[in-house]
Amino acid sequence: MSNTKLPKLISINSNNTDNIEHICEDLDLYGTVVVVTGTKTKEILGKHIENLLYRNFRVKEFIVKIGSTDEVKLLENIDSDFLIAVGGGKTIDVTKVVAYKHNVPFLSVPTTASHDGIASNRASLRSFGQHYSMETDSPIGVIANVDIIKNSPYELISAGCGDIIANITAIKDWELSSKKTGESYSQCISSMTMSLIDSIKTYSNDIKSRNDIGITELIRSLILSGISMSFAGSSRPCSGFEHMFSHAMDQLNSKCFHGHQVAVGALISSYLHDIDWMSIRDLLTFLNIPKNYKELGLSKNLIKKALVLSREIRSDRYTILNEKKDDELIIAAEKTGVI
């Protein structure tokens, strides 16, 4: 297991971003800051944060549009003492990579709660239409404004729930690999990660009605899910076959949210692992998370192709895929009602 740096500060409440200036000072962040944000998220929060910082910091701005390696190169050319990512996954991932390469600290200020990359030490970037995952450092602090996040579209919130629910089959794959290949495995990290799914179940009504309690629990779960990967020194606690399936869907140009894709992958994987897939389906239904090709807005054929293509994604990682043939994958998708 790793000794990766963890965030020094995690703040989840409704007015924390108004204190950004003091938060930076408390974390010994001074000098020139680049506020990395998106076109929409600049209007939602990025501009406000820049205005608060002008008094005590030299402020520069960088807009992320697609989350690409080209944007990493452009941001790398801007001198700074620290970075603040204000936005969704693409913005945070570009910031993470630049901060890691140049060994400068960064703050994560998510405007959505759609996946567990908010506080993780991993980033995913686009280059020539492909997605690449890479290791980075975790943010020095995570400042999640509940008021902003609860007003984001519900499909982003349900995607965040899907990314947590998918941990159930990621853990099963990790367990399986430790039995079959002797891969290092931690019961403690598994239990912590599994408890996050219980939290989503317990607070499902609150999450669905987007009240402060529910959204706070979702954000907390996503942050802890990201931190579990730092503890494990790999993405294993949160990424198994269901994530390989999602990456395969990305390669086939699916435009669905990551959290929705991995949730559908988890449904198929739970059938293959012979665990209670029906209770997972019921939870997806309750939270309005897509659970079949129609709700994802895709064709049956794309799902079938993605299942087979999953074998080519991270083939070094032992998962339930290693024990099943292609036709068994298709049958699992049919039996669970995904296709």
CB of 243 to Zn ion, least distance (A): 6
CB of 29 to Zn ion, least distance (A): 28
For residue 110, list its beta bridge partners: 87
CB of 248 to Zn ion, least distance (A): 14
- Cβ pair 308, 252 in contact under 8 A: no
For residue 180, give Cα distances in angstroms to 84, 318, 320. 42, 8, 11
Q: What share of the chain is helix, strand, coil (3-state, %, to 5)?
A: 60, 15, 30
For residue 6, give Cα distances in angstroms to 78, 127, 138, 142. 25, 28, 6, 10
- 3-state class of 324 per DSSP? coil
CB of 42 to Zn ion, least distance (A): 25
Q: Which is nearer to Zn ion, 23 or 218 (CB)?
A: 218
Residues 31, 156: Cα–Cα separation, whole Å: 34
Q: Which of residues 130-189 bind Zn ion (CB under 5 A)?
A: 163
Contacts with Zn ion: how many residues (CB under 5 A)? Answer: 1
Q: Does residue 250 touch Zn ion according to CB under 5 A?
A: no
Q: Which is nearer to Zn ion, 137 or 163 (CB)?
A: 163
Q: Which is nearer to Zn ion, 29 or 144 (CB)?
A: 144
Q: Which residue is nearest to Zn ion (CB)?
A: 163
The amino acid occupying position 228 is S
CB of 196 to Zn ion, least distance (A): 12
**What are the phi and psi torsion angles at 12 (to 5°)?**
-125, 100
Q: Which is nearer to Zn ion, 46 or 89 (CB)?
A: 89
Binding site for Zn ion (CB under 5 A): 163
